[in-house]
Amino acid sequence: MSAQTRQDIGKLFEYLANAEKIELMRLEKTLFMNFENDVAYAVGDRRIVLIGCQSTGTITSPLRILLYVARE
């Protein structure tokens, strides 16, 4: 792991530790056939979205990211 990556991770944890509100975000099950593989949080005015890697291309990944970003 590079020194820059360590610094970035440290900044992320510092930001999260000082956040006043962290909200878990989920997409509706009906849209994606009951799959709940994403981990997403709203932290202040930022979104942290972790989407599982796919071994093949999938059309739903960009759509899921868009749905998280579009939320208020």
Question: pLDDT per residue over 20-60, tens digit each?
Answer: 888 887 776 545 555 566 778 888 888 887 777 667 777 77
Strands 39-43 and 22-25, bridge-based pairing? antiparallel
Cα–Cα distances in Å, from 35 out to 1, 27, 29, 54? 31, 9, 6, 14
**71 versus 36: which is more confidently predicted?**
71
Tokens describing residue 15: 């930001």
Stretch (H or E) spanning 30: none
| Residue 12 near residue 24 (C-beta atoms within 8 A) | no
Q: What is the pLDDT of residues 55-64, one digit of tens each?
A: 777 777 788 7
Q: What is the CA radius of gyration of the chain?
A: 14
**Res 31: pLDDT:** 55
Q: Would the pTM of this model clear 0.85, i.e. be above it?
A: no
